[in-house]
Amino acid sequence: MPEPISAAGLSHARCVPCEGGVPPLGEDEARQYHEELGDDWHRVGTSRLEKEYRFIDFVEAMQFANRIGDLAEAEGHHPDLLVGWGRVKVYLWTHAADGLTKNDFILAAKISEL
């Protein structure tokens, strides 16, 4: 099990570089980090996190997506984004691990603070 950390602690942690060969989290670890995230991110087993944000128009959605992009670049951990009129859907998983790692929960907490 991972060491307990609050959602605020997740948002203050830093993503660590991930090269190949890093195993994804097990179900117990993913569940614990998801509980600590403490908001409405949807977890799909140990494979990914998803969340959709709603906005009043396309411009606001794009501005938010760009803020996520800036954050992702600073953290060195990059989500998949689906941007449409008035919405941004965020998909997080660690590609090198082919599943969830602590980095995904850290970035999710930071995105939630945007």
Residue 100 has pLDDT above 70, yes or no: yes
Helix (H, G, I), strand (E, B) or coil at 107: helix
- Whole-model pTM? 0.88
Residue 14 has pLDDT above 50, yes or no: yes
Helix 102-113 vs helix 27-37: angle between axes, to the nearest 10 degrees?
Answer: 10
> What pLDDT score was predicted for residue 10?
84
Amino acid symbol at 114: L
Taking every pair of Cα atoms in the chain, the longest distance, rounded to a whole number of angstroms, is 42
CA separation for the pair 96, 114 (Å, rounded): 26
CA separation for the pair 64, 46 (Å, rounded): 26
> What pLDDT score was predicted for residue 1?
47
> What pLDDT score was predicted for residue 8?
60
Beta strands in the chain, from DSSP E residues, in sequence order: 42-44, 48-54, 80-84, 87-92
> What pLDDT score was predicted for residue 13?
81
Residue 66 has pLDDT above 50, yes or no: yes
Domains and CATH numbers, the chain: 7-113 (3.30.1360.20)
CA separation for the pair 66, 10 (Å, rounded): 21
The per-residue pLDDT of the chain, averaged, comes to 90
Per DSSP, helices labelled H in the chain are 7-12, 27-37, 58-75, 102-113
Higher per-residue confidence, 43 vs 2: 43
**Chain centre to alpha carbon of residue 15:** 11
> What pLDDT score was predicted for residue 2?
52
Mean pLDDT of 87-96: 95
Per residue in 43-65, pLDDT tens?
Answer: 999 999 999 999 999 999 999 99
CA separation for the pair 94, 102 (Å, rounded): 9
